């Protein structure tokens, strides 16, 4: 199974800050890497697919990059509605696996 490791597990940031979350796969997954946002009590929501493609309706302040084993989700200017937990997920092979999540909190 492919292991996905996210860092950090949590972070505190202020509105307007630039935030970077990293995700590392235990083997190469090409660009089969997706990012989701989850708010408390809600289902996850797709943000970025295929490492760097925006899902329709996702603000451009979110961006994804990387290929192979190392990936990054960047929020260029954190907004109040962005405080949530973010998960990476590989779709290169079955079983699909998720990172452990990164909780973005208000400083």
Partner 1 sequence: EVQLVESGGGLIQPGGSLRLSCAASGFTVSSNYMSWVRQAPGKGLEWVSVIYSGGSTYYADSVKGRFTISRDNSENTLYLQMNSLRAEDTAVYYCAREVYGGNWFDPWGQGTLVTVSS
Strand partners, 106: 13
| Residues in 80-99 that interact with partner 1 by CB under 8 A | 87, 89, 91, 94-99
| Residues in 30-49 that interact with partner 1 by CB under 8 A | 32, 34, 36, 38, 43-46, 49
> Is the Cβ–Cβ distance between 71 and 88 less than 8 Å?
yes
Taking every pair of Cα atoms in the chain, the longest distance, rounded to a whole number of angstroms, is: 38
Neighbour tally for 93: CB within 10 Å = 12
* Residue (16 or 43) nearer to partner 1, CB: 43
* Residue (82 or 102) nearer to partner 1, CB: 102
Q: What are phi and psi of 22, to 5 degrees?
A: -110, 155
Give min distance, CB of 56 to partner 1, in A: 10
> Is the Cβ–Cβ distance between 2 and 27 less than 8 Å?
yes
Question: Which residues bind to partner 1, rule: CB under 8 A?
Answer: 32, 34, 36, 38, 43-46, 49-50, 55, 87, 89, 91, 94-101
């Amino acid at each position: 199974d492919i292991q996905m490791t996210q860092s950090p597990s949590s972070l505190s940031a202020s509105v307007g800050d630039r935030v970077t979350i990293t995700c590392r796969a235990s083997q190469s997954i090409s660009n089969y890497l997706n990012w989701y946002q989850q708010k408390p009590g809600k289902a996850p929501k797709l943000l970025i697919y295929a490492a760097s493609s925006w899902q329709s309706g996702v603000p451009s302040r979110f961006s994804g990059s990387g290929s192979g084993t190392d990936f990054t989700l960047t929020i260029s200017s954190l907004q109040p509605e962005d405080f949530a937990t973010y998960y990476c997920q590989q779709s290169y092979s079955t079983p699909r696996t998720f990172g452990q999540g990164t909780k973005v909190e208000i400083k």
